[in-house]
Each structure stands twice: as C-alpha cells, then as structure tokens.
Amino acid sequence: MAYLELRGINKSFGDAHIIRGVDLEIRKGEFIVFVGPSGCGKSTLLRLIAGLEPVTSGQLMLDGRDITNTPSGKRDLAMVFQSYALYPHMSVADNMSFALKLAGVAKDEIRKKVEYAARQLNLTQYLDRTPKELSGGQRQRVAIGRAIVRAPKVFLFDEPLSNLDAALRGNTRVEIHKLHVALGATSIYVTHDQVEAMTLADRVVVLRDGLIEQVGTPMELYDHPVNQFVAQFIGMPSMNMVEAKAIPSFSQQTGGRLPVDGFLGVRPEGLRVHPGHGAGVPGRVELIEALGADTLIHVDVAGVPLISRQNDRTTLQEGDAVGVELDPSVLHLFGRDGRALSATA
C-alpha cells in the first residue's frame, strides 16, 4: 500500500511544462532516489512534495491524507538542502533544535531529541560548536540532524552531498544509508550521482523532461532498461550503443537477433578485447585507462568508438590492432524509436 502517492502531478512555470503527469507510489520505509540529467525536473518534483512550490494540477497523498494544498510546515516532512542552510551564529545544538523551539516543544524533550540525533550522527562532541568550526561533512550531518529531531514522516534530500569532496561524499553516503536503516524512515533523495543512486536506493526513479522514464531497483534498471535513454544514463561508463548498419560484422555474434534498423547495446563489461585479429571484429585501441582493479579499453571499430571494461590489467598499447567480441548473453536490442525490443538473457 502506498504511503506517499503522487497522482497526475503537473507543474508549469508560465508556458514551460516542468513536470508532466507524474504518477508514483512510495511505500513506507522505502528509500527512493530521483535521478536524471540537469533540468529534468527532479528537484522541482521534490519541492512540490515538500510544499515549497504549488502543484499546477494533480494530487499528493501522505499516509491517507490529501496534502496537495497543505502548507509546507504542516506536511510532516523534513528537507535537507544542498547548501546546509545552517544559522552561522548558532551552535550545533541550537541549529538542530531551532524548529522544535518554534513549535513550543518542552526543553527536556528537545534535549533528548538533540542528544539522540547527535549520537546517530557522531556529533555529540560538536554540539557546542558553530558551523564555521566544522568540516563540510560535519555541517551536512548537522543539517540531517535538524531533520531527524523533527521525526518527520518523510525525509527529503536535495543533492545533499554535491558540495563535498569525493572522499567525504563516500563517507557521508555510507552514514546516510546506515541512518536510513536505523530509523526505518521513508526517504526521497535527489542526485545526479549514479553511485549514490545505485548504492542508496531501494528503487530509482529515472526522469527526463518532466516525465518518468522508468522506476525499478538499481539492478533492474541496469539489467533491463526500457529504452536507450535509461540504458545509457544508468551505468558508468555508459552502455555502448551501436547502430545496426554501422558494424555489420557484429550481426554474426548476435545470432541473427540484431534488428536491421535498430540499435545494439552492450555494457563495457560485455565487450571483450583480444590482441591481434584472431577473434572478434577487427578494431584498434584508442586509449587505455588503468583504474587499478579495472581497466577501460577504448577501441575504434569501423569508425565507431566503444569501451570495454576488463577486470584485470592489460599489456595492450594505444594503436594496437585488436579483435572485439560481444558476450551474446548480455546484449540489449532497441528499435529505431529507442524502445527496448528484448531483455538480456
């Protein structure tokens, strides 16, 4: 049963249609991630749920209650912003408790809630400090703590880690996951970072031009994309996409399944590169990216750039002649309209 439900949500700014007929059901305790390219509407959709922007049409239901026209402060939601939005002159404890004080919550209750949140976020020793005395990661934890003390029905995260460096993003991502598990909370998280989406989400919502392209678990999207857009948006590096007529030799490796006017998709790990022309379709190495455990091999096959991911090191050099072979069990086929024609084996 849906805990939070979006029914035909539309949002326009003048003549610009930003969100177009979005329907979505979110279960209690789920961690949902909105992903999509810049301008796809993911942050706008989050703001509509939060009540920071009015919907143009449609209905929002939370725990059986219509909140479409309910003011933001009365929706029982808590939002964590990219910019932290902390009061610089207040201590960590005062920042975390500010909303509770405004709501008239008893001092003892406030203290208990702040201490609980601080323990969950490893902030107990920083409660008397001001934001300027904290690192970026600690400030973001304070912002999360401010949401926790309110015990909302739903947590909303708007790209909360985008201001952090790579190491802090990784650490804070793990902390957010642990926190979600500990609290059993319902969370909606907006990000442009695929690693965050794939590691945090129970389900991922892929958006493009204000529309939902696909909803599913991270691996459902990875293994069974419904169209070329999802196939190439999910996964790093992106799925290799080859027009059927561009490399006719590949048709021999697909068992005759390659559509004449469509596209073949294969992820980098499904593409094997062999030295010389002994196996596969002839190609030439353009670039080698050694990533430690993995190696990315960029090859040119009949003028088409492809990427192979290998879980070992290579002796290949740029300019080497190679044979490129497909793993037929992980091929994706798409029609001219971009829709998937069949799932992988």
Question: Average pLDDT, stretch 106-122?
Answer: 94
- pLDDT attached to residue 312: 86
Comparing CA positions, the residue from 240, 247, 248, 246 lying closest to residue 307 is: 240
- pLDDT attached to residue 82: 82
Percent of the chain with pLDDT over 70: 96
One-letter amino acid identity for 34?
A: F
Question: Average pLDDT, stretch 25-52?
Answer: 97
> For residues 12 and 56, is the Cβ–Cβ distance under 8 A?
yes
Question: Average pLDDT, stretch 26-32?
Answer: 98
pLDDT of 140 over the 50 cut: yes
Per-residue pLDDT tens over the stretch 255-313: 666 666 789 999 999 999 999 877 889 999 999 999 988 999 999 999 999 999 998 88
- 213 falls in which pLDDT band (50, 70, 90)? very high
Retrieve residue 50's tokens. Answer: 């939060």
pLDDT of 345 over the 50 cut: no
Question: Average pLDDT, stretch 192-203?
Answer: 93
- pLDDT attached to residue 163: 81
Which domains does the chain possess? 2-223 (3.40.50.300), 228-342 (2.40.50.140)
- pLDDT attached to residue 343: 46
pLDDT of 67 over the 90 cut: yes
> For residues 28 and 199, is the Cβ–Cβ distance under 8 A?
no
What phi and psi, each to the nearest 5 degrees, are found at residue 23? -120, 130
- pLDDT attached to residue 259: 64
The Cα–Cα gap between 172 and 168 comes to 6
- pLDDT attached to residue 257: 64
- pLDDT attached to residue 272: 93
- pLDDT attached to residue 251: 65
- 47 falls in which pLDDT band (50, 70, 90)? very high
276 vs 209, residue with greater confidence: 209
- pLDDT attached to residue 190: 97
- pLDDT attached to residue 344: 45
- pLDDT attached to residue 167: 81
Length of the chain measured in residues: 345
Burial class (CB in 10 A: 0-12, 13-18, 19+), 256: exposed
